[in-house]
């Protein structure tokens, strides 16, 4: 296994040769300086200490060359190292499988992390005017960033003067009925203006209309592009058809564009309106929703935060049992 380790070290050096040389120069300079200080402490003059240190370590250029020879990537040794590593892997198939699994897992995690960074930081968000989209959360002494209660959200939505729109979302799951049986599918519940706040237009059909998230309204659903292709074969006449989710029939009203992504609920396949309040959402003290808003033109994030804090202070007076210190 030492040969495999050496080969990996050499491959690493091949791709970061300049960094290796810089680090090695810095390390050698440090040790020479340390020896000079020790010699000066023993009574030698600075010049004498510098000369003695140089003699002790020898020619710096030659040392650097020797270091490259020890762990460097030389063409004449590659075949030998590869053959030896393969023989060792054959002798230890269990280790080989473990090593391959760990490498694959590491690469998978790296790709996943890069994908998230690329989507969230490098690539522009696939929303209209994304600089106006803001995260909205409550704060408390024990929770600097807390979810919203449904009652607080409704009050904030009605009373604020700085947000063009305010909506909420939360993850959920349904059992999708298929010919082979029911299967669990990750999904999301959102308020009626969620996609409008993000500035996302559907590829087919529509998203949710005002009021379609209220209790008692019809059960409707919007599909992601991937779900449309994977579960419904990309049928162009999908809008208007029904799908059974956890035993209830939902009418498909739209399909989201292929480029749509929303990192907090990245795996959601089916997007449905909030509709009826669950047990948690019937209590102002229970927080299970996440907020997203769109700033009005000319409004800064600080202005919106101050506006929300003022509303929160008023709610704390009205509902001290649930909103104190929030």
Output the DSSP codes for 79-95: HHHHHHHHHHHHH-HHH
Predicted confidence at residue 45, as pLDDT, reads 79
Q: Quick one: pLDDT at residue 51?
A: 77
Within-domain flag for 279 = yes
Q: Does residue 119 fall inside a structural domain?
A: no
- Kindly state whether residue 125 falls inside one of the protein's structural domains: no
- Of 91, 112, 146, which closes a domain? 91
pLDDT of residue 73: 47
Same domain? For 144 and 59 the reply is no
pTM summary value: 0.62
Instruction: List strand residue ranges (DSSP E) for 40-180, in order.
Output: 133-136, 163-178
Same domain, yes or no: 318 and 176: yes
Q: How many domains does the chain have?
A: 2
Residue 117, in any domain of the structure: no
The answer on 181 and 61 residing in a single domain is no
Which of 91, 122, 139 represents a domain boundary (last residue)?
Answer: 91
The reported pLDDT for the residue numbered 81 is: 60
Q: Count helices and strands (H / E) in the chain.
A: 11, 9
The angle that helices 17-41 and 60-71 make with each other, rounded to 10 degrees, is 130
What was the pLDDT predicted at 71?
Answer: 46
One digit per residue, the tens of pLDDT, for the chain of length 326 reads 444 445 455 555 545 555 556 655 666 666 677 677 777 767 777 787 777 766 665 555 555 555 554 444 454 455 566 666 666 666 666 655 555 555 454 444 444 444 444 454 445 677 888 889 999 988 776 677 778 899 999 999 999 999 999 999 999 999 999 999 999 999 999 999 999 999 999 999 999 999 999 999 999 999 999 999 999 999 999 999 999 999 999 999 999 999 999 988 989 999 999 998 888 888 988 888 999 999 999 999 999 999 999 998 998 899 887 766 55
Judge whether 106 lies within some domain. Answer: no
Structural domain range at position 177: 130-323
Q: Same domain for 66 and 176?
A: no
293 and 174 share one domain: yes
Domain assignment of residue 120, yes or no? no
Class of residue 252 by CB neighbours under 10 A (exposed 0-12, middle 13-18, buried 19+): buried
Residue 9's pLDDT is 52
| Same domain, residue pair 313 and 232 | yes
Residue 236 lies in a domain: yes
Residues 152 and 294 in one domain: yes
Query: Is there a single domain that holds both residue 137 and residue 73?
Result: no
Same structural domain, 150 and 295: yes
Residue listed under structure tokens 């019937």: 282
Containing 184, the helix (H) or strand (E) segment is: strand 181-190
Together in a domain, 166 and 45? no
Q: Are residues 139 and 193 in the same domain?
A: yes
């Amino acid at each position: 296994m030492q040969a495999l380790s050496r080969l990996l070290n050499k491959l690493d050096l091949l791709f970061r040769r300049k960094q290796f040389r810089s680090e090695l120069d810095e390390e050698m300079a440090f040790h020479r300086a340390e020896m000079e200080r020790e010699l000066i402490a023993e009574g030698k003059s600075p010049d004498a200490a510098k000369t003695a240190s140089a003699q002790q370590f020898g020619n710096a250029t030659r040392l650097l060359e020797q270091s490259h020879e020890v762990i460097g990537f030389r063409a004449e040794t590659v075949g030998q190292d590869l053959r030896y590593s393969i023989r060792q892997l054959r002798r230890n198939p269990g280790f080989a499988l473990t090593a391959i699994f760990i490498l694959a897992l590491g690469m998978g995690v790296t790709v996943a992390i890069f994908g998230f960074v690329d989507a969230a930081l490098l690539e522009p968000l696939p929303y209209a005017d994304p600089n106006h989209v803001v995260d909205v959360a409550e704060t408390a002494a024990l929770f600097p960033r807390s979810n919203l209660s449904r009652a607080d959200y409704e009050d904030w939505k009605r009373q604020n003067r700085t947000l063009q729109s305010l909506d909420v979302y939360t993850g959920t799951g349904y059992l999708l009925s298929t010919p082979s049986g029911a299967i669990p599918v990750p999904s999301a519940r959102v308020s009626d203006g969620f996609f409008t706040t993000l500035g996302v237009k559907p590829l087919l059909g529509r998203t949710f209309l005002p009021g379609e998230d209220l209790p008692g309204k019809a059960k409707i659903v919007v599909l992601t592009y991937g779900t449309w292709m994977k579960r419904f074969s990309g049928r162009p006449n999908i809008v208007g058809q029904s799908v059974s989710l956890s035993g209830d029939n939902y009418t498909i009203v739209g399909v989201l564009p292929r480029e749509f992504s929303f990192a907090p609920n990245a795996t959601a396949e089916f997007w449905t309106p909030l509709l009826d309040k669950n047990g948690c959402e019937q209590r102002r003290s229970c927080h299970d929703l996440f907020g997203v808003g769109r700033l009005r033109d000319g409004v800064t994030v600080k202005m919106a935060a101050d506006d929300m804090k003022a509303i929160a202070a008023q709610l704390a007076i009205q509902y001290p049992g649930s909103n104190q210190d929030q």
